[in-house]
């Protein structure tokens, strides 16, 4: 079955001598693995430029239900890479990719079209925004709780007291971040605490998972 869909690249790795496996979150079929010959070597169509983490793509897929790997017929950028591929932002890109793989790949939420649209549009915003990526990553985590059915803003502080970095100051900061999309906080200390707090929130109210990228992100600005 041929599908035309939008997708978000989650990275790729070598498979054998002359092929690679690409992980992509799509609107139509959630997270799937795609087998591509010659991705790691120079050829007529340099496919590798499309599959850097968080690339926003338009895809034509040859989809086979229950297959281990899917095939891509055609790919192009839905939005040209910009902020997401600046070297100073790679730690945030790795963090968001790691987070989405754990949240949607293992959590079984990847086939939700409304959820995909929210994620795709927010990544598109991050890619072209002038606002700092730390603030936008935190705002993404906050707003995504609503889409996942665990909206933090409606909860009670008593539910969160066991989470790391809990404090009235942090809660006020998080509310301000959620309510004000133009807030570009330069308080890196609160941003880091807010991100770790929200990851702990997802772990508590969805299911436990561990992000290798979180420790790297915590080192920024030290």
- Structural domains in the chain, CATH included, are 2-77 (2.40.50.140), 83-218 (no CATH)
Q: Which pLDDT value is given to residue 42?
A: 45
Alpha helices in the chain (DSSP H): 90-100, 113-128, 133-147, 168-179, 188-205, 213-218
Count other C-beta atoms under 10 Å from residue 16's C-beta: 9
| C-alpha closest to that of 192 among 217, 164, 209, 211 | 217
pLDDT at 182: 59
Which residues make beta-bridge pairs with 62?
2, 71
Residue 122 to residue 126: CA distance in whole angstroms:
6
Q: Which pLDDT score, from 0 to 100, does residue 47 have?
A: 73
Average pLDDT for runs of 10 along the chain of length 222: 93 82 92 78 64 95 90 92 87 94 72 91 92 89 94 85 92 89 71 94 92 82 50
Burial of 197 (0-12, 13-18, 19+ CB in 10 A): buried
Distance between CA atoms of residues 10 and 196, nearest Å = 21
Q: Which of 106, 105, 180, 118 is nearest to 149 (CA)?
A: 118
d(CA 98, CA 137): 13
pLDDT at 43: 46
Contact 60, 37 (CB under 8 A): no
Q: Distances from the Cα of 182 to the Cαs of 137, 143, 178, in angstroms?
A: 13, 14, 10
């Amino acid at each position: 079955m041929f599908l035309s869909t939008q997708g978000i690249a989650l990275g790729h790795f070598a498979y054998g001598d002359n092929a690679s496996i690409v992980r992509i979150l799509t609107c139509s079929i959630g997270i799937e693995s795609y087998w591509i010959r010659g991705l790691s070597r120079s050829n007529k169509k340099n496919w590798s430029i499309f599959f850097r983490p968080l690339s926003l793509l338009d895809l034509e897929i040859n989809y086979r239900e229950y297959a281990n790997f899917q095939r891509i017929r055609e790919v192009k950028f839905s939005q040209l890479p910009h902020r997401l591929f600046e070297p100073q932002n790679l730690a945030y890109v790795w963090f968001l990719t790691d987070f989405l793989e754990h949240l949607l790949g293992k959590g079984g939420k990847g086939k939700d079209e409304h959820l995909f649209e929210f994620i795709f549009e927010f990544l598109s915003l991050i890619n072209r925004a002038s606002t700092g990526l730390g603030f936008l990553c935190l705002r993404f985590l906050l707003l995504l709780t609503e889409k996942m059915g665990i909206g933090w803003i409606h909860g009670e502080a008593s539910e969160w007291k066991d989470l790391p970095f809990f404090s009235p100051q942090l809660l006020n900061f998080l509310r301000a971040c959620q309510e004000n999309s133009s807030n570009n906080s330069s308080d890196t200390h609160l941003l880091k605490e807010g991100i770790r707090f929200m990851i702990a929130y997802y772990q508590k109210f969805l299911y436990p998972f561990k992000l290798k990228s979180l420790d790297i992100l915590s080192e920024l600005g030290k």
